[in-house]
Chain A
Amino acid sequence: MSTERKGTNKGSPSAAVRIALAGNPNCGKTTLFNALTGSRQHVGNYPGVTVEKKEGGFRHAGRDIHVIDLPGTYSLTAGSPEELVARNVILEEAPDLVVDVVDASNLERNLYLATQFMELRVPVVLALNMADVAEARGQTIDWKQLSQLFNVRIVPTVAHKGRGLEELKQAIIEVAEEKPPHQPAKVTHGQHVETELSKLTERIESACGQETQAPARWLAIKLLEDDEVVAEHIGKTCQDAETIMETVRTSRNHLARELGDDAEILIADSRYGFISGACQESVRSTVESRHTLSDRIDMVMTHRILSIPIFFALMFLVFKLTFTVGAPFMGWIERFFGWLQEAIVGVWPTGSAPLLESLIVDGIIGGVGGVLVFLPNIFLLFLAISLLEDSGYMARAAFIMDRFMHKIGLHGKSFIPMLIGFGCTVPAIMATRTLENRRDRLTTMLVAPLISCGARLPIYVLLIPAFFPKAWHAPMLWLIYVIGIALAVIAAKLLRSTLFKGEVEPFVMELPPYRMPTLRGTLLHMWERGSLYLRKAGTLILGVSIVMWALLTFPQEVDYSRDYDAAMGVVAQQELPEEQIEERIEELEKARQAEELSKSLAGQIGRGLEPVLKPLGFDWRIATALIGAFAAKEVFVAQMGIVYSVGEADEESTPLRDKLRRNYSPLVGFCIMLFCLISTPCMATIAVTKRESNSWRWPLFQLGGLTLLAYALTLIVYQVGSFAGIGI
């Protein structure tokens, strides 16, 4: 990949051209990035912040071009980590040029970002994207004219159809090779502001000299805009910083007096002035808004009364799709792993390395396979969520839910991570990145595990039919989900009125026009999220499966309470029909396995925990399975199967359900589900919370809090239930 060659011999004609790809959210930047770089991508994080860093590369005309995909932003202030990251990349990594993707059908606002790159004096190429959409509704952009006014290269593109890509690549090379580097037009800010700016620029130039990489005029603009990050930078790198800051204060006061507005608003206004002047000269429109159809759809979708039933109907469809369409695929995967296990046992030379055989068959395939069975459901749920997002409905859902979310101290945007949480908590916690306010973000992160994720579903699917009549199945499942949602709501409210006290962050969000989702885009989105689950299965769950297997297998030498071999020998000698002998031997074998298990490490740990879990109605077997569930919720099912020594345990195995029914009351069954719903978010959740909150404090708080809550609630339910005689 071209990343490895980055900047090695910059300046020589064979060196890689380094470009940054920028643009507003929803402008088609991601599509363009994918179209340019194809599979040559690398995804990581910017150091210190949880903003995703995507890089990639391609070759054109014999040159390597390295692309840094900047986060989608509207502006380059210090207001959000994304915007800070975007401008730091320009300042620190000094790319040869910026390709700013501009949504042609929303030109003026998209150009606002462009003016800020121009202020940074970095060569800019504008990719005028979706010009076809603009044209289709009668808006012709004279891009050559616009290009002159901005003094930047403009290339019309239609990224999702791959149009304009070659021209864009060519323009990148040409602009990058210009010597001296190409300079875009200067955005002027009106006489008053300009006077103050030149005073400040001079001061910065003389005081900071070569100490700073940023252009002095840009620093001056940022200081006038009261940008705290630049102020801090000046304080650190320049002599005489105090005098500079004094000049800034005087200038700001002067402008406020003279023009009656804050300097930052004046500067923003003049940027818009520059843009709208340019657009007036270069855009001809026989206006028909791209929103005409979209607005009409919104009349229904966000209707005061209709919106709510529509919302619930869509949610219902999402779950319907996930569970019914997924079922046959699950069956296939299940059968595949069953076949694989049998096949390995079949070809394994009898008696050689039985431990290794057991590790592969029971530990690895049993553990990882049990988790991969749910892959179709997870992918289907993410497919549905991607469809909701790409069509534009997700933003409407945030709008519809804003009032409700407000009541629990969050706002509409927090709703999106919660919804994703039904699929998997890990991407849900990652989706909290769209929340600007740390209090909102932490609250959403901490309560997200209460939204019942896809991995907990197998537990319900195993237990509900084991303990409840058929007519209760659906309502029972529904009840569990509702309990989770209700607890999340209460917990959020509680957190917002105690730990994260403070005003509700104001809600502003752009609602993109409804779009027909493209197959490619939707599948890509689904894959991005779903592959996390797949990776989890391949790494974490694989590791844990091996550990759990070891805990269940060792110590190998067990002092049995009776001599099973002798007992089997006695049975074999008896004068009985063949079938009965086999049956008895099998029973003895199972009893032997059960005793072996109860004396294994896991069994001993389970017995150690039994006194604590007894008041919840749980015995040592359940305790062992709960430990497994911490690794990944779905492990609970596999673990119960092994514990009950039914050779093969997936959630459809009837014998396991029979045994559960014989051993526990429906009340205990319900308590298990309740405990699994609330308690101990899985290891992957803890890890992602640690990463996203940048501290161990919050994942530990989450772990401790949720486990205590689970314990307390289950205790109440079990004790009250037993006392009242319900379900025992």
Chain B
Amino acid sequence: MPSSEQATALPLAMLRPGESARVSHLASRSQGDCRKLTAMGFAAGVEIAVLNRRSGPLLVRIGDSRIALGRAMAQRVMVVLDG
């Protein structure tokens, strides 16, 4: 993965509703989390969009599914904003 992209990546938790981005990588702290995220479709290059966010969790569109992500989990998904 080009390191320039990793440099511009930001955690998914920082996105506002309506923003879309591409997954860059998973800032893995624990393997279990990474596996869980991967199985839910969070793989490098995948397009995602934030549909809704409350003060706690985020609602994310990924492919054709809707995933609710806790704030901590959303900190671990590094994304590159579109546009």
Contact = CB atoms under 8 A, between A and B. Distances in A.
B63 A109 contact: yes
B46 to A, nearest CB: 8
Nearest to A272: B43
Contacts of B3: 260
Contact of B1 (A109, A261, A403, A503): A261
A112 interface: yes
A357 interface: no
Nearest to A504: B72
Contact of A511 (B36, B43, B45, B66): B66
Interface in B42-66: 43-46, 51-52, 54-57, 59, 61, 63-66
Contact of B63 (A106, A403, A511): A106
B72 A506 contact: yes
Contact of A106 (B28, B57, B65): B65
B83 interface: no
Interface residues of A, number: 48
B39 A77 contact: yes
B4 interface: no
A402 B56 contact: yes
Chain B contact residues (Cβ within 8 angstroms of A): what range?
35 or more
A508 B41 contact: no
A268 B3 CA distance: 20
Contacts of A112: 39, 41
Interface in A643-664: none
Residue in A77, A259, A289, A298 with the greatest tally of chain B CB atoms within 10 Å: A77
A504 B26 CA distance: 19
A460 interface: no
A317 interface: no
Nearest to B75: A506
Contacts of A295: 51, 66
A507 interface: yes
Contacts of A79: 32, 35-36
Contacts of A269: 43-45
Contact of B38 (A265, A299, A403, A506): A265
Nearest to A113: B39
B63 A508 contact: no
A50 to B, nearest CB: 19
A589 interface: no
A74 B54 CA distance: 26
A445 to B, nearest CB: 21
Pick from A268, A299, A406, A512 the residue with the most CB of B within 10 Å. Answer: A268
A116 to B, nearest CB: 10
Given A264-B31, A264-B35, A510 B61 contact: no
B45 to A, nearest CB: 8
A206 to B, nearest CB: 28
A412 B35 contact: no
B28 to A, nearest CB: 7
Interface stretch (A84-92, A392-400, A679-687): A392-400
Contact of A75 (B1, B33, B35, B69): B35
A215 interface: no
Interface string A574-599: 00000000000000000000000000
A218 B37 CA distance: 22
A109 B65 contact: yes
Contacts of B32: 79, 436
A433 interface: no
Given A74-B39, A79-B35, A406-B70, A298 B64 contact: no
Contacts of B14: none
Interface string A434-445: 001000000000
B81 interface: no
Contacts of A77: 35, 39
A138 interface: no
B12 to A, nearest CB: 12
A108 B64 CA distance: 9
A402 B54 CA distance: 9
A406 B56 contact: yes
A409 to B, nearest CB: 13
A26 to B, nearest CB: 9
B52 A302 contact: yes
A262 interface: yes
Contacts of A509: 67-68
Interface string A282-324: 0000000111001100110010100000000000000000000
B73 interface: yes
Contacts of A264: 31, 34-35, 38
A12 to B, nearest CB: 39
A105 interface: yes
A109 B41 contact: yes
A399 B36 CA distance: 17
A295 B65 CA distance: 11
B64 A290 contact: yes
A517 interface: no
A411 interface: yes
A517 B81 CA distance: 37
27 contacts: A74-B39, A77-B35, A77-B39, A79-B36, A109-B65, A112-B39, A112-B41, A260-B3, A261-B25, A262-B28, A262-B34, A265-B26, A269-B43, A269-B45, A289-B64, A291-B66, A294-B66, A398-B68, A400-B54, A402-B56, A403-B54, A403-B57, A506-B70, A508-B37, A509-B67, A511-B68, A512-B66
In the A-B complex, the 4 residue pairs with the closest CB atoms:
A403-B56, A507-B70, A75-B39, A506-B73
